[in-house]
Amino acid sequence: MLSKKVEAALNAQIEIEASSSQAYLAMASWAETNGLSGTSAFLYRHSDEERVHMLKLIKFVNDRGGRAHVPALKQPQKDYKSITDIFQSLLEHETGVTASINNVVDLCLKEKDYTTHNFMQWYVSEQIEEETLARTLIDKLELIGSDKAGLYLFDRDLQNLTGTSGGAHDGNA
Ligand code: OFO
């Protein structure tokens, strides 16, 4: 059984994962209409992965005797200055998500909720992968600079790049 505090923290995390999914969907749509089809495919997949993160939390909360709430969401940012702007925003967003996950983990320890603590470890590892990937992509974009051919290849490479393990082995969500 979840404590009220842990239940509230998990519900707050559900909202964050849902907002992440919306934010990356908006980025995908921007990229799609700015000639970046590979980037857009990557971001659509990333958006789907975040939805899976949300679903895993919803199921966990309900299975543990709590009640998951589906949140209302604010409209995400619509326009971006560039592809680099997209990935910088994505990294900034993920850094915030990591901080929030760490807070949930911390609360689990305080509440001696080792089951939820164990469940959250998946999110902890996921965040390491996501932040590393975002930093790698930003480094590549810095190297490419204004080289159009480089940008073309970067976008093409993203066509089939999976964001993280998130979408692949989430069979239960
Ligand atoms: Fe990348 O945020 Fe989910 O966990």
User: Is the pLDDT assigned to residue 127 strictly greater than 50?
Assistant: yes
Segment 13-28 shows an average pLDDT of 98
Amino acid at 42: F
CATH pick for 4-162 out of 3.40.50.11740, 3.30.930.10, 3.50.50.60, 1.20.1260.10 = 1.20.1260.10
Alpha-carbon distance 53 to 167, whole Å?
A: 9
Given pLDDT bands bounded at 50, 70 and 90, which one contains residue 45? very high
Identify which of 146, 150, 116, 134 has the alpha carbon closest to the alpha carbon of residue 43: 134
pLDDT for the residue 80: 97
Tell which one of 60, 93, 97, 162 to mutate to probe ligand 1, the residue whose CB is within 8 A of the most ligand atoms.
97
**Distance of CA 67 from the midpoint of ligand 1 (Å):** 21
Segment 139-151 shows an average pLDDT of 97
pLDDT for the residue 161: 83
**Distance of CA 12 from the midpoint of ligand 1 (Å):** 13
Orientation angle between helical segments 148-158 and 114-144, nearest 10 degrees: 150
pLDDT for the residue 156: 96
pLDDT in tens, 72-107: 999 999 999 999 999 999 999 999 999 999 999 999
Under 8 Å between Cβ of 58 and 170: no
Domain boundaries, the chain: 4-162
pLDDT for the residue 162: 72
Burial letters for 45-67: b for 16+ Cβ neighbours within 10 Å, e otherwise? Answer: bbbbbbbbbbbbbbebbeebebe
Identify which of 52, 28, 33, 50 has the alpha carbon closest to the alpha carbon of residue 159: 28
Given pLDDT bands bounded at 50, 70 and 90, which one contains residue 167? very low
